[in-house]
Structure 1
């Protein structure tokens, strides 16, 4: 004969275990997200450039190349995706990114004869930088965009 009390107790234990497993995965994901953000902010500038290059490669960009440190004409990464060539300025900052980064990407795009210029950052852009980017047709990839790219990798 079936002992309903024993069965109900077992079902409760199973439900509790499932909840604990779910809680562990939820917390682990939140911790990973937090640590990723801290990793972005802790990198040195040149390390951030290589990080951005790797992130682009992970998202289907080809011929990804980090330019030399000095004399790069405002571009840190050169890449290509689906026949479109990119010149990317990488900015690992502690605060908002201003117009100067947009101007560097604009100049570097033309110097390297690329179709698209972009600025990638661990931060966000000032309103003047956003306005300049629209006028100069420069893509702005901010912290939120980078974090969404990082999440897609998982």
Structure 2
């Protein structure tokens, strides 16, 4: 029998009815009771949990979806549907919005903002992305940075130095501006082979993500370590260093009148 809904659609329907936080087990039970989805996996609750986490704001990992539908309460390990509080309660002609709504809207804004920045990076041409990565390293204190000429790159897009104590470590970097696909171990091994013996460290940038095998073999005993930086991490670094990003501090006022009246 073909399922009428996807797992995510089924979870959204359950949460839209309850209008509150629910555990994975509770969501799973409701999905079964209302015949919204038939699981064929050996561990259906783990499958459901993985889908919910992938589409939840504030939970980021390489394979997480860019589409966010849920809010996750880490302390209670429960999920709720986003947007339930966006319908402001009208009172005396004014909209009353709770602090949790403001926070939720902020989380959503940040996720959309991050996605927009990453999409812009994916729209750069390869040379522009190499220059971007070089300038990002400069913001983190690297010196003598340069982008390699294409005819002489030898598998290296750029290089520079980073001061460690009293000495300088020679570093090479590789940049893959990919819109689809993930960077596999063979790409990391090829880059390491190109820098072995001449550089003390490698940095591999991509607007995409890395396979698990690539991440497991980025650090190998007796070989040059290769630091892996995916698209989400690039955006994190941009935000941390205010690199190509500006921010505005908006005050959030919290009622504390009870503290002076008690």
TM-score higher than 0.5: yes
User: 1:131 Cα shift?
Assistant: 3.0
2:175/2:206 contact within 8 Å kept:
yes
1:106 aligned to which of 183, 188, 192:
192
- In structure 1, runs of 5+ residues without a counterpart are 1-8
Normalising by structure 2, what TM-score?
A: 0.46
Determine if the alignment matches structure 1 residue 150 to structure 2 residue 248: no
Q: Distance in 1 between matches of 2:113 and 2:151?
A: 34
Q: Which has the higher contact order (CA 8 A, sep 6+)?
A: 1
Query: Cα RMSD (Å) of the superposition?
Result: 2.7
Equivalent residues, number = 137
| Aligned residue number for residue 116 of structure 1 | 201
| Aligned residue number for residue 129 of structure 1 | 214
Q: Distance in 2 between matches of 1:119 and 1:69?
A: 17
**Structure 1 residues 142 and 31 mapped into 2: Cα distance closer, same or farther (>3 Å)?**
closer
- Which structure has greater helix proportion? 1
Q: SS in structure 2 opposite 1:39?
A: helix
| Aligned residue number for residue 4 of structure 1 | none
Q: SS in structure 1 opposite 2:217?
A: helix
- In structure 2, runs of 5+ residues without a counterpart are 1-91, 243-262
Normalising by structure 1, what TM-score?
A: 0.74
Could you tell which deviates more after superposition, 80-89 or 133-142?
133-142
Which structure 1 residue ranges, 4+ long, deviate > 3 Å from structure 2?
Answer: 25-32
1:66 aligned to which of 122, 140, 147:
147
Q: Distance in 1 between matches of 2:135 and 2:154?
A: 21
